[in-house]
Structure 1
Amino acid sequence: MCSVKEYVRLALCATLVLLQAVAQAAGYVDVLELPAKTSVLAQRSPLLDVARAGERLVAVGQRGHILYSDDAGQSWQQAAVPVSSDLNAVHFPTAEQGWAVGNDGVILHSNDAGATWSKQLDGRAIGALLVKHYGALASAEPADEQWPLLVAEGERLTADGADKPFLDVWFADTQRGYAVGVFNLILATRDGGQSWTPLQDRTDNPQGLHLNAIAATGDALYLAGEQGLLRKWDADQERFVAVATPYEGSYFGLIGSPGEVLVYGLRGHAFHSRDAGLNWQPLDSGLQVSITAAALDAQGDYRLFTQAGHMLRAGADAALQLVPQAQQSPVAGATLAANGALVLVGTRGVRVLPVE
């Protein structure tokens, strides 16, 4: 099952095929070596995520586009980005330090609130990283059968090339963070991205399902993905352990506050837990279209957004209500601006909902 980021890419595949044909005619240049081009239309181009960097907003999307706004989304500037790979997610643990991830195994870092970016990793190095890490464990623990399998996975990634996308990124602070993606791809850093450690062996995901999202609710850190996958970091076991949920379809994201978590995904499904995932309450969206983004508004209510552009609101009772809009367009990412406005991004670029 595709993630929401993959749905957006599929919708634009015809355009990409045409662009690739033009690129081949002109001479191929690897997107990992090609800086993102400046475009006056970047604000209206497909964007896949948006986050706060202090009072600044930072949005990421196709062809390496990264935009930032210092006036709550009314105007945007384009950042300097060293790659042209599509970017799927962005997160800032502080006002200055942030990370973005995307296709081709790209991990980017900014230390100036998103104005400029440097590449920390790409897919050409991920396979070798797995081979080295799990090869060392195989030598130290030759009786453990999982290590050779993970070494073989690293060798396969190397042979396949830089084609495995990261779908989300989350950092606890400027040193500790995670990047997650397709087929149980998960890396962790404890030094601000200077080095990355594979965690495939520390995630309860034997089927190798896609990891679509990673986020914290209070002190609890969760992964969400395909086939009802929800995992929670267990500090004692030092691994992401399985959390049972009532749904077997894909989750595209999660949001919450201390002690509670809300997961959402395919065909309008959403579930809310007030006890850190022990029990779940289904939330009836009344829709059959996928929920693809969420944010907390200025009142602390949940706002959920769909692939078709619907907006749903959940208050203290967690009941979902459809909120009428003057216009709507597909939403892939959402966040709250410093002035309380909701800022949405999607296939048609940026949309700002005024402060209520």
Structure 2
Amino acid sequence: MIRTMAVVGTGLIGTSIGLAISRHGITVHLLDKDEVAARTAAALGAGVVGASDEPVDLAVIAVPPSAVGDVLAEMQARGLARSYTDVASVKAELARDIRTSVDTPSSYVGGHPLAGRERCGPLAARADLFEDSAWVLTPSETTSQDAVNRVFEMIALCGAVPVIMESRAHDNAVALTSHAPHLVASLMAARLQRGSREAFRLAGQGLRDVTRSAVRDTGLWSDILQANAPAVAGVLRELRDDLTTLLATLDDLSNAPQDMRSQCLEPMVDLLNRGAAGLAAIQGRQATDRETRVEVLVAESPGQLVRLLDALKTFHVEAEDVVPRHSTEEGTFSITFAVPAARAGQIVLELGRAGWNAQSVDPVSGARQQKMASVLSP
């Protein structure tokens, strides 16, 4: 059982871990070469500044990927903790370095919480940052079970969901789902340097969505991309091929006579269709152990759906997360939405208490599992 912890590096992730763990009454020791950052994290309630006199149960190395190996070796030499983990978003190269440069690699298990914000630094930290998010662990053949168990406990205290992966598989996955998208957002944001005042007046939600994840901490991201260069390059080469096809199609459309343009559209339509299919694949993925769908019946009278959507905001469910459904056979209109499995029961209960007919839906069979009220609307 974890009674004491240390966090080395009090940026967004490190401070958020401290906040999440401290609320369970566990003493967290905060270390950072930037004393202001450590004291800011402590003032937020993430822990106490300075190392413990005795080894803590678990230390989290929350520094950039290129620094993890050296910091881990230093902390092990100081006897800071019994077990260690990190939060770096690149694992394979780091695992190789640690196997050769750290005295006791058995006490270390690689980790990567899949959570973050556009802002950085301790003031952006949140105790609930990791709730219902995946937290990847990449234990090696030398990792001790004690180290894994302690990290499992920390993940549970943070409200996250552990996922075991091999290091290279992890790096390939985040290249596709995180690292390359951040780069693409940055490339689009770079185009804005040439924008005019008139153009910016026309900027809407589409531009904000595309550029929202553009890299801000260029030092950290240079470090990440250096460590995961092969996997990111592979994703971007495929993107380059699609862009080449799209550019050729647009050039053909620009030069073709009006009555011939429809014949040039096929490659572009294919790309757009593949994009729509990819978006549907991630948005409409089936509920897993971490996710359950909830269905709520709605009376088809003016204002009822608006009232329900307002109520769902309490559970952090927005209108764009909702899928409407009409059953001609049953003569009902309903909406469904996905929520973390751990919260589904409570959400159904609270909606039922408010008078809504809410029930959870089995992700495989579609069968209704839990019904809380018999009225159609409050």
Q: State the TM-score, normalizing by the size of structure 2.
A: 0.27
Identify, as 1 or 2, the structure richer in helix: 2
Q: State the TM-score, normalizing by the size of structure 1.
A: 0.28
Identify, as 1 or 2, the structure richer in strand: 1
